[in-house]
Amino acid sequence: MKRRQFVGGVGVGSLLGASGALGLMTGCASTGGGNGPKVVVVGGGFGGATAAKYVRMWSDYGIQVTLVEPNASFISCPISNLVIGGVKTMSDITTSYDALTKVYGVQLVRDRVAQIDAEKRVVKLAGGSDLPYDRLILSPGVDFMYEMLPGMAAAGAQDNVLHAWKAGPQTVALRKQLEAMPDGGVYALAIPPAPYRCPPGPYERACQVANYFSKNKPKSKVLILDGNDDVTSKGPLFKKAWADRYKGIVEYRGKHFLADVDAATNTLKFEFNDPVKADVLNVIPSMRAGDIAVKTGLATANKRWCDVDFLTFESKAAKNIHVIGDSIQIAPMMPKSGHMANQHGKTCAAAVVALLTGKEVNKNPIYNNTCYSFVSEEDVVHVASVHAYDAAKQTMMPVAGSGGVSKAANELEGRFALAWARGIWADTLL
């Protein structure tokens, strides 16, 4: 199969130059060479890795794809709350980029994009080199608006008060803080106002920490301090879990807009409510598009999110630059999720291949999303939706009557959730 793909790649000689084919066949991950169109993808998360893989596949391996990503391997935010709760490990949520390079011929550059010159169509890497492109796909995820929490600029504050909202070292560090907390302590979770990455994610985290406490530190408390008026996703299902399973452990307080953090005294300060001191603070700050998108002037919606054309994901601010994943200004009812970023990645890949090969862009994209949340080790709830392009509104709209929410948490959904995770990781990376 791989052999046929390589031969096929060489066969579309109009797209792939000789040195591009050689680069692939020798497994060379160099960043130059070849006469075919060049696509550079920034960010090897759910959106970017999917786009890189599918541009290669759907161009019949004719378009050269270079993926720039600083991390050595992909670490999934989905299921990372279970690592914090102690029922999964980091290796359970880590996947190598090897298949992208070896099976699909994506050229992987382990670096960070420092600057984008949209006029010259060149990205500049932090390591110093330049990568030219015909089309650029940006999927840098989110970055945090720490300027809204002045105390977090104090020395060491961001090392002690963790977000753990990008899976990686902070996931491990937060787990260690929970393990070190004495029984009878308080874990306080501050949630930012929507929109933020993964609407149900904070409430799932509260369940996972409560599950850990219920078995290991039963005198301890989970205090949820929500910047939103009420639970933003699957509210009745989460509230039922807190009342039935974690009674006396979880306390939920809505309308708690975080104004600052005093890391020295482990204190959260709110705009209208009394300050809260806790043993472990977990602050999820407000978010915006990844820094590189903001810096390039692509964050046209409230200077936070990137407006895109939903048929191609081309930025409304810069030609030949496509933005996908959490960085975009969402369409109505569209969550910022890994599943959604994967769907953006495929829709964008198909459009980029069409644009670079003189074909027509699909005018009727349709895609789906499912977000599973573990309320215990096994029991899960989900919310699902289907989104279709509305030509009159020029955006993606939820399809009436599609999707829905679980009736109740159960173990069968737990099996589906783990199968979903394996499936989305495979579709993105394998």
Ligand X SMILES: Cc1cc2nc3c(=O)[nH]c(=O)nc-3n(C[C@H](O)[C@H](O)[C@H](O)COP(=O)(O)OP(=O)(O)OC[C@H]3O[C@@H](n4cnc5c(N)ncnc54)[C@H](O)[C@@H]3O)c2cc1C
Q: Is the separation of the CB atoms in 290 and 70 below 8 Å?
A: no
Give the count of beta carbons closer than 10 Å to the beta carbon of residue 101.
18
Residue nearest to ligand X (CB): 45
- Applying CB under 6 A, the span of 7-15, 52-60, 334-342, 355-363 interacting with ligand X comes to 334-342
- Applying CB under 6 A, the span of 76-84, 208-216, 228-236, 348-356 interacting with ligand X comes to 76-84
Cα–Cα distances in angstroms (integers) from residue 282 to residues 71, 78, 141, 239, 286, in the given order? 24, 18, 20, 20, 13
Kindly tell me which residue out of 5, 19, 71, 94 binds ligand X, with binding defined by CB under 6 A.
71
Alpha helices in 26-78 (DSSP H): 46-58
Q: Could you give the string, one character per residue 194-233, with x where binding to ligand X holds by CB under 6 A and - elsewhere?
A: ---xx--x--------------------------------
> Alpha-carbon distance 236 to 221, whole Å?
21
Please report how close the Cβ of residue 240 comes to ligand X at its closest, in angstroms.
19
Return the number of the residue (9 or 69) whose C-beta is nearest ligand X: 69
Please report how close the Cβ of residue 404 comes to ligand X at its closest, in angstroms.
16
Alpha helices in 64-196 (DSSP H): 80-84, 98-102, 157-160, 169-180
Return the number of the residue (140 or 192) whose C-beta is nearest ligand X: 140
Alpha helices in 273-410 (DSSP H): 291-295, 338-356
Kindly tell me which residue out of 55, 82, 190, 371 binds ligand X, with binding defined by CB under 6 A.
371
Instruction: Decide if residue 43 touches ligand X (CB under 6 A).
Output: yes
Instruction: Decide if residue 85 touches ligand X (CB under 6 A).
Output: no
Q: Is the separation of the CB atoms in 189 and 227 below 8 Å?
A: no
Q: Is the separation of the CB atoms in 72 and 111 below 8 Å?
A: no
How, if at all, do strands 276-277 and 267-270 pair? Answer: antiparallel
Instruction: Decide if residue 48 touches ligand X (CB under 6 A).
Output: yes
Instruction: Decide if residue 81 touches ligand X (CB under 6 A).
Output: yes
Instruction: Decide if residue 337 touches ligand X (CB under 6 A).
Output: yes
The tokens describing 394, both together, are 């020029």
The tokens describing 32, both together, are 């130059």
Please report how close the Cβ of residue 119 comes to ligand X at its closest, in angstroms.
19
- Cα torsion 294, 297, 301, 306: sign: negative
Kindly tell me which residue out of 107, 139, 177, 220 binds ligand X, with binding defined by CB under 6 A.
139
Instruction: Decide if residue 290 touches ligand X (CB under 6 A).
Output: yes
Residues that bind ligand X (CB under 6 A): 42-48, 68-71, 77-78, 80-81, 112-113, 139-141, 165, 197-198, 201, 290, 292, 325-326, 336-339, 341, 371-372
